[in-house]
Copies of this chain bind each other. A is one copy, B any other.
Amino acid sequence: MKRYAVLVEGRFDFLYAKTANALLRYRAEEVVCCIDSDNAGKTTNEVMKLGGDIPVVGSFDEAKVFNPDTLLVGIATQGGFLPENMRQCVREAIESGLDVICGLHAFISEDKEFALLAQKHDVSITDLRKPPTPLPFSEGTWRSRKTPTILTVGDDCDTGKMTAAWEMKRQLEEKGKKVAFVGTGQTGILLGGFGVAVDAIVSDFEAGSIEAEIDRVGEDVDLIVVEGQGSISHMAYSGVTLGLLHGTMPDMLLMCHEPARDIDTFEHPMADFKEVMDLYVRLVQIFKPCEVVGLSLITHTESEDQARATIQNYSEKYGIPASDLVRFGGGQVIDNILSKLG
């Protein structure tokens, strides 16, 4: 159990504070406070409807009262750099003996001032997105893997692949299964404890990097859940997605989709849903059997009745169990995965 002070200064919202929000959703018991001067004095529940009564404070000095042991830089930024107004907070945290965990694109462990300061105060700085050294090359170890593996995939960015993967793990664990989680982005790596930020890897080594992380899991689990990224139908990220797909070589896919979405995150009309699913499956089937075992639908813009009708409709149309895993629980999706695990 850690005691996180979560730095979200000026960015405590849905767009920039994804990592902080995931921690509040799934590990609230490890968060002692959030730091955001815009919302100082409120609770996290008042700001984000997450985390209950966790206090939001205006500075690191105020955060110290709650005796944190780790500062999490819980935001994303355009360009990926640490904003100037947050440097002072990171500095104070290190000087107060806190470890620092950061999910930004720019690695603060390579920032000279912070690196020296961390050495002086004997604390660690962990950049969640930092690639392994040396980069592992693909060896095709999936050929001898014994543990079933499932990857979340989607037909766009922001279709809930991280959340669906984590919900699947959580709900399967409630059913008594032992499930490993391999993160592939900053939030998943933070929640799961290991993983690799695949989009930060030189493309030649992407498949090998995820393969190496899966190999670290070992055989003592019933299922390996791998967090998906991007989409093979996304013009900017499709390479990342296919590298991840073939690096993972999943037995099963959980397909993530928002039925109400017409235009993708790159302002292109959404591709045909069935076609994208079909391409995923066929790209794996070049190597091994693979099937879509569930549809994870984002329905939060629909009323509950509408949402249940949408889910029913998708399930019948494609012959695959469907649910909104956050809103309604996994239901038949989880049951179907359980049946595959035997």
Contact = CB atoms under 8 A, between A and B. Distances in A.
Interface of A: 137-138, 140, 198-204, 206-208, 232-233, 235-247, 249, 266-268, 271, 275-276, 279, 282-283, 286-287
Contacts of A137: 236
A286 B156 CA distance: 12
Contacts of A235: 138, 140, 207, 246, 249, 287
Q: Count this chain's copies in the assembly.
A: 2
Nearest to A236: B138
B202 A200 contact: yes
Given A279-B283, A282-B279, A286-B233, A240 B204 contact: yes
Contacts of A202: 199-203
Given A232-B283, A271-B286, A266 B140 contact: yes
A145 to B, nearest CB: 13
B268 A203 contact: no
B233 A238 contact: no
B249 A243 contact: no
Main secondary structure of the interface of A (DSSP, over half): helix
Given A235-B138, A238-B242, A246-B239, A204 B208 contact: no
Contact of A268 (B245, B276, B287): B287
A233 B288 CA distance: 12
A249 B138 CA distance: 27
B203 A239 contact: yes
Nearest to A276: B286
Given A203-B206, A279-B282, A238 B232 contact: no
A206 B204 CA distance: 11
In the A-B complex, the 8 residue pairs with the smallest Cβ-Cβ separation, listed nearest first, are: A239-B243, A138-B236, A199-B204, A203-B203, A242-B242, A271-B286, A203-B240, A239-B239
